[in-house]
């Protein structure tokens, strides 16, 4: 071997060793694949840091932000922080107010001084104080006078499906919810899903009021509004959709009343209920998506866009009177996706050779309220939806202690085989020793559970990438930033960065898999859009 060739061999070995440290052992095991990662890209990937992710998330998931409910002061603080990081990365501001896309959200404030709840049990009228109830109601006043109560068990679904059944119409329905104390997370989730389906069926059949019993807490949360509406444009005067009220629901926390209601046989009863509630006061709140643009370099493809998204809201503060920890911090759901959007923007903005397509980094408000932020965006897009080629949505990237087993150096894509996006990120994962695959249990099931589905319904290939679908503290008060595996999240984010560059540099648009029946609706929407 000549001295020159020996020196070249030394340099190749050093480069391979550096790649092993930075990107994982697979970079050395597959030198031909790793060679496609240019030094500039490798440098950008190296900027994605566990310490940086930890720093961002320890703020966004702190108690100071009060769970980032929609709307709230904490959500506003989070939006300002995200905008500051986009500004630091040098992204272009393309919102209606700098990095913000502003919307107005109709809100109804309860009227706690004008309420009366009475259960008429024979000759005994039991008035329930407001601190012993939790009432979820809609946008109108409630005025029920001695409405008959029907008691249904958890097995009532079959009876409700009988043709011509008017068992629940205009009645107060007492639901015997299953006791899930001590149940597994999966059992609790299944019970909750069954309960929600039963509630939806009851609402659809004209129930006047749903009543359930809480045997765990003697303190209620008082009044809250169950109305879900879409935000409307700050320039407009009319909401983008007509709001729909759910059937009001009353949760009773009074042990004495619960005991008496437990003693009543199932079916139609002699008990009647009166409930008077004044109409809520209507207000509006300002809510914001946060948007930054990394403009592409190709004269033609730069006017096509890949979205990188996450929702930055969570559940806010607990209304439980007995909870000592009041903050739903939402570190993994979806603080981890939010800080990954920040980190990916910061890293990819440093690559000297910009990708051919433009990348839009965006965080949504109100996903936990019914995907409000993404639904608002598709009604008021800042770039043409016809030129939006994909949405890569990020959720729950931080926890590796998934309910279906540890998820180290792995990621999953919802609806993995619905489009070509799954293959793109799988190839990126192979280069960096990250296993990207379809989770046979959860991938299809969770496709419609996040903001990606908003874009999929418009025909845009859109998926959510996550690490743990279910994990301890999911939607719980214990979802804290200290429980996140930041080293693993940094490795997954490097895979995402590489996959995004592959996607943005590919002259071919991603396509729906028309041979997959589950993707047929989205493929048809794409053809109609085209």
CB neighbours of residue 343 within 10 Å: 25
Name the token pair of 489: 């999240």
Look-up of token digits 């009021």: 209
Q: How far apart are CA 259 and CA 233, in angstroms?
A: 49
Nearest CA-CA partner of 466 in 425, 526, 500, 432:
425
User: Residue 40 gets which letter from DSSP?
Assistant: H
For the domain made up of 21-107+284-529, the CATH class stated in words is alpha beta
pLDDT tens for the chain, 530 residues: list them: 433 333 444 444 444 444 444 444 333 333 333 336 899 999 999 999 999 999 999 999 999 999 999 999 999 999 999 999 999 999 999 999 999 999 998 877 777 778 899 999 999 999 999 889 988 877 778 899 999 999 987 666 555 655 545 678 899 999 876 666 566 666 666 666 667 677 767 767 788 999 999 888 888 877 776 555 678 886 654 444 444 457 888 999 999 999 999 999 988 999 999 999 888 887 889 999 999 999 999 999 999 999 999 999 999 998 776 778 999 999 999 999 999 999 999 999 999 999 999 999 999 999 999 999 999 999 999 999 999 999 999 999 999 999 999 999 999 999 999 999 999 999 999 999 999 999 999 999 999 999 999 999 999 999 999 999 999 999 999 999 999 999 999 999 999 999 999 999 999 999 999 999 999 999 999 998 76
What H or E segment, with its residue span, contains residue 102? strand 100-109
Name the token pair of 374: 């993404």
Which value, to the nearest 10 degrees, does the dihedral of the CA atoms of residues 301, 303, 492, 92 take? Answer: 140
Q: Where in the chain is the domain with CATH 3.40.630.10?
A: 21-107+284-529
SS3 per residue for 192-255: HHHHHHHHHHHHHCCCCEEEEECCCCCCCCEEEECCECCCEECCCCCCCCCCECCCCEEEECCH
Q: How far apart are CA 379 and CA 368, in angstroms?
A: 19
The region, left, alpha or beta by phi > 0 then psi within -120 to 50, assigned to residue 267 is left
Angle at 494 between CA 354 and CA 410, to 5 degrees: 145
Q: Identify whether 71 is preceded by a cis peptide bond (ω within 30 of 0).
A: yes
Angle at 305 between CA 491 and CA 348, to 5 degrees: 35
Q: Which residues pair with 289 in a beta bridge?
A: 101
The CA-atom distances, in angstroms, between 488 and each of 70, 272, 308, 392, 396 are: 29, 57, 20, 19, 12
Strands, E assignment, 367-507: 388-394, 401-402, 405-406, 410-413, 435-437, 462-466
Q: Identify whether 453 is preceded by a cis peptide bond (ω within 30 of 0).
A: no
Q: Where in the chain is the domain with CATH 3.50.30?
A: 111-279
Backbone angles phi, psi at 82, to 5 degrees: -60, -45
Question: In the sheet that 142-152 helps form, which strands lie side by side, from edge to edge?
Answer: 124-127, 115-121, 267-277, 142-152, 172-175, 209-213, 249-252, 133-137, 222-225
Q: Answer yes or no: pTM beyond 0.85.
A: no
The CA-atom distances, in angstroms, between 242 and each of 106, 228, 229, 232, 280 are: 11, 10, 7, 11, 18
Q: How far apart are CA 345 and CA 351, in angstroms?
A: 11
Please name the fold of domain 111-279.
Glucose Oxidase; domain 1 (3.50.30)
Q: How far apart are CA 83 and CA 65, in angstroms?
A: 16
């Amino acid at each position: 071997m000549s001295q020159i060739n020996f020196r070249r061999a030394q340099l190749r070995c050093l480069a391979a060793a550096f790649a092993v440290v930075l990107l994982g052992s697979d970079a050395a095991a597959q030198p031909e694949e790793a060679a496609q990662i240019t030094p500039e890209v490798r440098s950008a990937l190296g900027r994605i840091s566990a310490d940086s992710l930890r720093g961002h998330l320890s703020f966004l998931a702190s108690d100071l932000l009060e769970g980032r409910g929609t709307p709230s002061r904490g959500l506003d603080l989070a939006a300002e922080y995200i905008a500051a990081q986009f500004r630091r990365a040098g992204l272009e501001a393309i919102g209606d107010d700098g990095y913000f896309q502003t919307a107005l959200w109709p809100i109804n404030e309860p009227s706690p001084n004008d309420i009366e709840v009475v259960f008429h049990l024979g000759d005994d009228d039991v008035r329930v104080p407001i601190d012993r109830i939790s009432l979820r109601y809609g946008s109108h006043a409630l005025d029920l006078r001695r409405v008959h109560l029907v008691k249904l068990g958890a097995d009532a679904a079959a009876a409700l499906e009988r043709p011509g059944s008017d068992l629940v119409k205009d009645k107060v329905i007492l639901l015997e919810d299953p006791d899930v104390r001590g149940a597994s997370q999966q059992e609790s989730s299944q019970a909750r899903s069954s309960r929600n389906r039963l509630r939806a069926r009851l609402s659809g059949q004209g129930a006047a009021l749903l009543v359930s019993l809480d045997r765990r807490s003697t303190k209620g949360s008082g009044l809250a509004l169950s109305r879900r509406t879409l935000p409307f444009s700050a320039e407009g005067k009319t909401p983008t959709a007509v709001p729909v009220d759910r059937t009001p629901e009353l949760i009773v926390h009074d042990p004495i009343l619960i005991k008496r209601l437990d003693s009543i046989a199932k079916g139609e009863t002699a008990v009647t209920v009166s409930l008077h509630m004044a109409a809520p006061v209507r207000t509006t709140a300002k809510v914001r998506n946060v948007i930054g643009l990394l403009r592409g370099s190709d004269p033609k493809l730069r006017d096509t866009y890949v979205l990188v998204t996450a929702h930055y809201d969570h559940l806010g503060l607990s209304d439980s009177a007995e909870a000592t920890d009041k903050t739903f911090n939402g570190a993994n759901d979806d603080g981890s996706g939010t800080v990954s959007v920040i980190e990916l923007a910061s890293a990819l903005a440093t690559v000297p050779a910009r990708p051919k397509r433009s990348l839009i980094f965006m965080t949504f408000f109100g996903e936990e309220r019914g995907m409000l932020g993404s639904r608002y965006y598709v009604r008021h897009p800042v770039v043409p939806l016809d030129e939006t080629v994909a949405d890569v949505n990020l959720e729950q990237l931080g926890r590796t202690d998934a309910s279906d087993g540890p998820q180290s150096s792995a990621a999953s894509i919802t609806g993995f085989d619905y489009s070509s996006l799954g293959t793109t990120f799988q190839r990126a994962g192979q280069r960096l020793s990250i296993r990207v695959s379809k989770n046979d249990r959860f991938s299809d099931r969770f496709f419609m559970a996040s903001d990606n589905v908003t874009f999929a319904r418009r025909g845009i290939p859109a998926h959510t990438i996550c690490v743990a679908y279910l994990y301890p503290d999911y939607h719980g008060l214990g979802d804290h930033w200290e429980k996140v595996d930041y080293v693993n999240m940094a490795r997954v984010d490097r895979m995402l960065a590489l996959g995004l560059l592959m996607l943005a540099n590919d002259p071919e648009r991603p396509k729906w898999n028309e041979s997959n029946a589950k993707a047929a609706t989205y493929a048809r929407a794409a053809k109609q859009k085209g």
